[in-house]
Amino acid sequence: MSDIDVQDIIGPSAVMQGSSVELYEAIRITKERFPGQGFCVVNEWIWLDLDAPDLVVDELASEGKKPVMLLVFDVLFDSSALSKCRWFRSTPLVDFTDGMFFQTENKLYVLLGNGRRKYMSLSAVVRLF
């Protein structure tokens, strides 16, 4: 990740592969597969597996969500064009498909390139991000 020193932010993490398709191909595939769905194509990202209390995990599960979030540092394309954030944290994962589509309740993220994967406590994520 270019301008962000991930080690300073979250400590050691594993490399996680996203899709290797080009940006315009990712946009085309996403529009075709998820018509009418708002989405972001992201390039610098961290997959956070959350260590959360059982009560929180159970509540997420009852809502069809998983204890996983994304940290995004580089948005290549945003179909809504409303967000001008330099970085942000997603809401919890609902579904992950095809090694690239990270679906939350309100937004679809298309993961391109190599990201990072980190196991982190929910309390640390809330405090830091």
Residue 1 predicted with pLDDT over 50: no
Containing structural domain, residue 21: 6-128
pLDDT score for 84:
63
Buried-exposed string 84-106: b where 16+ CB fall within 10 A, e elsewhere: eeeeeebebbbeeeeebbbbbee
Residue 122 parent element (H or E): helix 122-128
Q: Report if residue 34 sits inside a domain.
A: yes
How crowded is the C-beta side of 27, counted as CA atoms within 13 Å?
Answer: 9
Q: Report if residue 28 sits inside a domain.
A: yes
Q: Report if residue 58 sits inside a domain.
A: yes
| pTM (two decimals) | 0.87
Q: Report if residue 21 sits inside a domain.
A: yes
pLDDT score for 112:
97
d(CA 66, CA 56): 10
Q: Report how many domains make up the chain.
A: 1
Q: Report if residue 121 sits inside a domain.
A: yes
Q: Report if residue 1 sits inside a domain.
A: no
Residue 125 predicted with pLDDT over 80: no
Q: Which two tokens stand for residue 22?
A: 């080009």
